Chains A and B, each alone.
Chain A
Amino acid sequence: MDRSGRYLIRARSIKILIWLISMSSILLIAWWRFAYATELPRSWDQVDFSLALNRFDLFAMQPHFPGYPYFILGGMLLNEWIGNPVEALTLWNGLLMLLSMYPAYAVSRSFLSKTLSMASVALIQSIVFVNVLTIQPMSEAAAVAILWWYLWSLQKAFHREHSFMSIVVASFLFSLLLGVRLSYLPFGVGLLLLLIQRKKQHKSIKSYSSFLLTQVGIAVIFQLIWVGGLAASEGGVAAFLQLAFGFSEGHFEEWGGTAVSASAPLLERISHLILNNIVWTGLSGQALTILLLYLTLFTFIIFQGVKNRGRTLREISWFGWAFVAMAFSYFLWALLAQNIDKPRHILPLPGIIILGFLWIGLRRQGNNSTKIMLGLTVMISIQTIVSYSTMKEANDPAAVYQLMDYVEQINEPVIVYTWEETRVMSYNKVSFEHEQIYTYSNFLSDLQYFDEHRVFLTGQVLDGFKKQNISMDGQIKKVKEFHSSTLYDPVYHDIVLYEFLR
């Protein structure tokens, strides 16, 4: 056999390998998302979402503002035959994630071969952190799934320069996106750029401005669908607005915040956001193997790019720039306006980063070294395995559940003072008293009503008191510690229980 024949056989077998691994990864993950779906809410926000399916009531914070209407609506409909709000919401996430395979494939297809596009989809679907959030009753995964459709529609629209309807489709998908998660607003920059791109088709300012007016009008109307639905659910626009303003007056200052609060210096925020939230949690799923693999893959891709003189800036299309602009806007937004204690806010970024690197390093026609191809199959397999072992832990009791079990075994009247755990406790209708407490003076005044009770406090409550310059040394005794996964419980994964000795 001559040399080229052998080369062809080898190329074909690698191709088959990539298809096999990608397909099985995607199928398995779709199944695990269903099999390991969370059954109980682990945090305040998850309780908010779960309660919303029984009675949609922004006033009672079920869910909290701004209401996430399309996310809840899907959950409500699924809950008709599921009967467990938490599982209904996770199933909705799983379905949407599965459907997002198509747009992710189509976007990859614009610069990759069919085989590599498949690999790209498998890589994106098997991101550990994405799967962690898909199986929880939170709106992030649903939003990321819709984001792929939105990106796909933008790419189509940038491409078909004369199509009016393609912009309408993009702006409709953008309204779905915001109706699931308002905080994905910065992705609107893509739509904005689309409108700017169309300028050259208009000969006069007049025709361009009438075009703009129509498109912006349509976009606004699409957004009004979900805003209108929300307003109706509150009984009217006025009530809705009042509620909106009521909510945005947060109570953050009262008790000093959490680990890395808004007041942390910018540099600290940036490094925490990039290193911990995006790279360590978002991309690597807090697994060292994956971190190393990504570092190797990305280094290799960049090296390869430099060697082959890579792609030039001129090769970047309008859509490419819009893609970069959206990623950058969202990054800034996550940095400046989102709670960086909760890594879930960066969920759209890992997939975008991966796609960006594939774009830099891979070509549509051949030329892709077998090393990169094999590297991709290894990445997909390892990510899938880690996703599996992580998803399997989803129903291990969260620290707050361990705490609840412990306290329920005490056969005396008990009151536990906590922060946000109290909402999970009331969802589960625990048999003991519990209360959210931030200030020391409220604690003292509340205490008088519980003369006959043993009093417990969580470590966070004590830390909060400390920030108010109250030291309780000598009055408290450490009772027990509870730990759970930092991936599943980013804020309340370590709970220390203290007893207050009167």
Chain B
Amino acid sequence: MIKRILSSALIMTLICILAVPDLASAYSYGDPTEEKVAEAYSEMSAKLNESPPNFAEANKIFASVKDEIQLHMGDDAVQAVQNELDNEDKEAVITNMQQVLVLNISRRLENAETDFEEYDTTRKLVGKADATYKTLSPVVKQTNPELDEKIKNEFEVLLNSLGNPGLFGVGEKDSDEEKYAESKKVILDGLKNQFDMKSVEIGHFGESATEDESSGSEKTDWTDLSQLSNWLPIVILIVVIAGVVIYTTRKRRRS
């Protein structure tokens, strides 16, 4: 018996450790709202701010997000940044990248509006837009602290206007599409002026961009089934409990 008990204890521990891989190293959790383009911008500007500016590294970092920028913000956006990188014009690279980030915020917010009733999608997109803004925030704050404050507040409004399913229904909030649209406009207009852009619609850098269903790569078909499958466990649970109760009462009656 002892042997069996000890071995099962070991197996259980092993299962736990295998089931949760890398847990030991995940002390500080990763951030699911992380936006690759925004991260790349931070890293590039860190490299460019070295003295002398490290264009080789910046180029490498830019190459890692080129495809994504091309897909969502268009060829011209990539070209604009790439040209300045080739010209080794540090300021221009940074300015162009900042405009790319503004476009990124715009596309995330627009996409969220298209799928407004899908909380799982909207929450993620707004999270990514917010993460992108956080990297831009110090830039805005430096010249226009009021605007920065305003945009940060509007992001809070945005988040709340998405509604919230709550936890087991507690804390459930309805979504408010009108409010969302208002806040979105405030944010995008503010950024447009701040970064001196003609438009934040796709194609500021040119007209070639064709925005496809941008979240398509992240959103697979089975997301749509999720609404239904959320309820499945509870239904099964009720059925099983009822089954057990009926089974035991019947047995008792018989004996």
Give me the interface of A with B, judged by CB distance under 8 Å.
53-57, 59-61, 64-65, 69, 72-73, 76-77, 164-165, 168, 185-186, 188-189, 192-193, 196, 217-218, 221-222, 224-225, 227-239, 242-243, 246-253, 257-258, 261-262, 313, 318, 321-322, 324-326, 328-329, 332-333, 336-339, 341, 420, 439, 441-442, 444-446, 448-451
Contact = CB atoms under 8 A, between A and B. Distances in A.
B118 A250 contact: no
Contact of B138 (A65, A168, A450): A450
B233 A336 contact: no
Given A55-B171, A337-B20, A237 B229 contact: yes
Given A196-B8, A329-B13, A225 B165 contact: no
B28 A250 contact: yes
Nearest to B123: A59
Contact of A61 (B29, B124, B219, B237): B29
A446 B166 contact: no
B22 interface: yes
B96 interface: no
B138 to A, nearest CB: 4
B242 interface: no
A257 B25 CA distance: 9
B70 interface: no
Interface string B115-129: 000111101100100
Contact of A235 (B10, B29, B123): B123
Interface in B162-189: 164-168, 170-171, 173
Contacts of A233: 164-167
B114 interface: no
Interface residues of B, number: 74
Given A168-B244, A228-B234, A252 B28 contact: yes
Given A56-B164, A72-B167, A262 B27 contact: yes
Interface stretch (B42-50, B76-84, B203-211): B42-50
Given A248-B26, A262-B25, A325 B138 contact: no
Among B16, B42, B232, B234, max chain A CB count under 10 A is at B16
Contacts of B227: 236
B42 A325 contact: no
B124 A59 contact: yes
Among B26, B28, B121, max chain A CB count under 10 A is at B28
A242 B222 CA distance: 12
A403 B150 CA distance: 27
Nearest to A438: B28
A449 B134 CA distance: 13
Given A164-B248, A222-B237, A235-B123, 13 more contacts: A168-B244, A221-B240, A225-B234, A230-B167, A236-B119, A236-B120, A236-B227, A238-B226, A248-B26, A250-B30, A252-B27, A313-B2, A325-B5
B22 A239 contact: no
Given A221-B233, A225-B237, A332-B13, A449 B28 contact: no
24 contacts: A53-B171, A55-B160, A193-B5, A222-B237, A225-B233, A225-B237, A228-B230, A233-B166, A235-B118, A236-B223, A238-B120, A238-B226, A247-B30, A248-B22, A248-B26, A262-B25, A325-B8, A329-B9, A329-B16, A337-B17, A337-B20, A338-B24, A439-B46, A449-B139
Contacts of A73: 167-168, 170
B253 to A, nearest CB: 16
A251 B30 contact: yes
A147 B65 CA distance: 48
B102 to A, nearest CB: 17
A347 B139 CA distance: 45
Interface of B: 1-2, 4-6, 8-10, 12-13, 16-17, 19-34, 42-43, 45-47, 49-50, 118-121, 123-124, 127, 138-139, 141-142, 159-160, 164-168, 170-171, 173, 218-220, 222-223, 226-227, 229-234, 236-237, 240, 244, 248
A444 B49 contact: yes
- Tell me the interface secondary structure of chain B in the complex: helix
A258 B28 CA distance: 11
Contact of B21 (A236, A248, A321, A446): A248
Contacts of B138: 446, 449-450
A246 B30 contact: yes
A400 B53 CA distance: 36
Contacts of A60: 33, 127, 159
Contact of A228 (B1, B10, B170, B233): B233
Contacts of A250: 22, 25-30
Given A168-B244, A243-B32, A189 B9 contact: yes
Contacts of B222: 237-238
Contacts of B22: 248-250
B164 A59 contact: no
A56 B171 contact: yes
Contact of A441 (B50, B170, B234): B50
Contacts of A339: 27
A186 B173 CA distance: 36
Given A69-B168, A337-B20, A224 B233 contact: yes
B30 A333 contact: no
Contacts of B30: 246-251
B235 to A, nearest CB: 10
A217 B45 CA distance: 54
Contact of B248 (A57, A165, A193, A341): A165
Contacts of A238: 120, 219-220, 222-223, 226
Contacts of B13: 186, 189, 329, 332-333, 336
Nearest to B141: A449
Contacts of A249: 22, 26, 30
A220 to B, nearest CB: 9
Contacts of A446: 138
B42 A193 contact: no
A221 B50 CA distance: 56
A202 to B, nearest CB: 16
Among A168, A230, A249, A420, max chain B CB count under 10 A is at A249
Nearest to A224: B233
A305 B20 CA distance: 41
B240 A441 contact: no
B49 A445 contact: yes
Nearest to A53: B171
A58 to B, nearest CB: 8
Given A59-B33, A233-B166, A239-B120, A445 B127 contact: no
Contact of B12 (A53, A186, A324, A448): A186
B12 A329 contact: yes
Contacts of B42: 442, 445
Contact of A56 (B26, B167, B240): B167
